[in-house]
A and B are shown apart, each in its own frame.
Chain A
Amino acid sequence: MATAQVSPLHETAAVAARGPAATAGDYLNARNVSIAYAGRGGEIVLAIDRIDLAVNRGEFVCLLGPSGCGKTTLLNAVAGFLTISAGELIFEGKPIIRPGPDRAMVFQQPGLLPWRDVLHNVTYGLEMSGRMRGREAAARARALLELVGLADFAHSFPHQLSGGMQQRVNLARALAVEPDLLLLDEPFASVDAQTREVLQVELLAICRRAEVTALFVTHDIGEAVFLADRVCIFSRRPGRIVREVRIRLPKPRDEVRLKPEFLAYVQEVAGVLGSAAKAASKA
């Protein structure tokens, strides 16, 4: 913790590091990152093993793999919830030490405060990060509710919303702090299939409009191919990135799901996942 920085300093430094001068892969960079933790019996569990990952500004990257492969662990490290055991994890030129409002996390559980209405749930991140409050925050929140299509529900309470709507509020709350990097941990895993497809389309549109960079964890191949500019496929634990597949489908992708190119990508990714699983079971 000796190298910990005061967050306002961190923020200005981050602003200075931006701009067109940043070269490819300079934005978020994992070099040789391993993460191990102590298991229940005290044994050391290696969750991810020497991962290299470079994410460019504005890119949408999916981390895809079987459950328990360590993809969420990597996301948590980027969020600053846990420290890495070896290697380097650099965001905007600085090592990641702790959580910060420059990286917003969207969890699988909406995590809305039940005693706040929708509007004040969206302002919550702004208040917590100390950026904005009162009317200014409310105005920003209203704009974001517009963006996620919930403008009419500003004064509803979370329990009055469906799971899909709650997840939209969750997304709006994350976007309200204008994060540079949006981290999404299977955000649509607990909504029904139809709602999920709608939310995926909306997420792409929102990311384009809000110009955010996104790191999205999923185990759903179709979801990864639909959303991503690049899919990073993980092996079983200890997680390694076995292949990166660049998805060259034009955006917006609203109608892409039935096209042969889309299905070809799904097949390719599924093939890589399958052979990774086979390799693991042989070893």
Chain B
Amino acid sequence: MATIVLDDSGAPRRQESGIFAAMGQRTERVVLGTAFIVALFVAWQSVTALGVEPPILLPSPMGVVEAFRGLFSSSDIWADLAASGKELLYGFVLAAIVGIGAGLPIGWYPRLGYFFDPFVNFLYAIPRVALGPLLVVWLGIGLNSKVALVFLIAVFPVLVNTSSGVRSLDQHLIRVARCFGASDVKIFRTIALPGSVPFILGGLRLAIGQALIGVFVAELLGAQHGIGAMIENAGQQFQTDIVFAGLLIFAAAGMLLTACVRWLERRFDAWRV
């Protein structure tokens, strides 16, 4: 526990003992978070150095680095990145726009909620990756079906979170606004929108992971290029180092998008601290 003490001048100072004494909370978090990853890498390297038979079961970390070098020495990787990136971004952005755009009115107007909720729950209950084959039949094997699958998987967390955010608004605030003669539009803009921002951002965060699942599954159903397709091919040829490289690329994409959402959260949630 960090307590606050006041020094002679009355300025607050954080009181802590041990190796964390010199660090701020932020540094502390980064150091601890990195430490675990480093430990994991060391353990991984040790295990592979001891020898795993056959070696293709588990490539060493250095082997994965080698695989990365190999991948980026050919131009195919750029086509793969471009294909998967497009699927991810188009699908995710579309999911965000539709999810927020539909979630706000569905949460705001109870009748709209009654109207759409059963359908939304029905779709939510389907394992949406199972829609993949159908989408391929409808939209072809190209980009469209893949974006559609990513969208369908990612839109629900955003939509459900947004509408429940609007529904859980503080009714007292709305009463206050009405008391001042506020119109519905003004109440929506000044209370419903800012009040549901934390829910919307939470939904977007969930959607990132879902969208990545969508990209991978969509590419399994047949693709010329893409990181998912690359993983699939490498796996069939027991090139586990490339599989690992692909997984790391997926992870990096997810972390990058999550960092963007966290940045938004910090911007909009300054008042929560």
- Chain A residues with a Cβ under 8 A of chain B: 7, 79, 81, 99-101, 104-105, 107, 109, 111, 113-117, 124-125, 127-130, 157, 159, 177
Contacts and interface: CB of A to CB of B under 8 A. Distances in A.
**Chain B interface residue number, banded:** 10 to 19
A111 B190 contact: no
Interface in B169-205: 170, 172-173, 175-182, 186, 190-191, 194-195
B271 A128 contact: no
Contact of A113 (B178, B179, B190, B268): B190
26 contacts: A81-B175, A99-B178, A99-B179, A99-B180, A104-B179, A105-B176, A105-B179, A109-B172, A111-B175, A111-B176, A115-B195, A115-B271, A117-B271, A124-B180, A127-B190, A128-B177, A128-B180, A128-B181, A128-B182, A128-B186, A129-B180, A129-B181, A130-B181, A157-B271, A159-B271, A159-B272
Given A109-B172, A177-B180, 8 more contacts: A104-B180, A111-B172, A111-B176, A127-B186, A128-B182, A129-B180, A130-B181, A159-B271
Contacts of B181: 7, 99-101, 128-130
Interface of B (DSSP majority class):
helix
Contacts, number: 57
Contacts of B177: 124, 128
Output the residue of B172, B173, B181 with the most chain A CB within 10 A. B181
* Complex A-B, nearest 3 residue pairs according to Cβ-Cβ distance, in ascending order: A128-B182, A128-B180, A111-B176
Contacts of A117: 271
Main secondary structure of the interface of A (DSSP, over half): loop
Interface of B: 170, 172-173, 175-182, 186, 190-191, 194-195, 268, 271-272
Given A114-B271, A115-B271, A159-B271, A125 B180 contact: yes
Which of B173, B176, B178, B194 has the most chain A CB atoms closer than 10 A to its own CB?
A: B176
Contacts of B272: 114, 159
Interface centre among A104, A113, A130 (most CB of B within 10 A): A113
A225 B178 CA distance: 31
A101 B271 CA distance: 28
A109 B182 CA distance: 19
Given A129-B180, A177-B180, A107 B172 contact: yes
Contacts of B194: 113, 115
A128 B177 CA distance: 7
A123 to B, nearest CB: 11
A99 B271 CA distance: 30
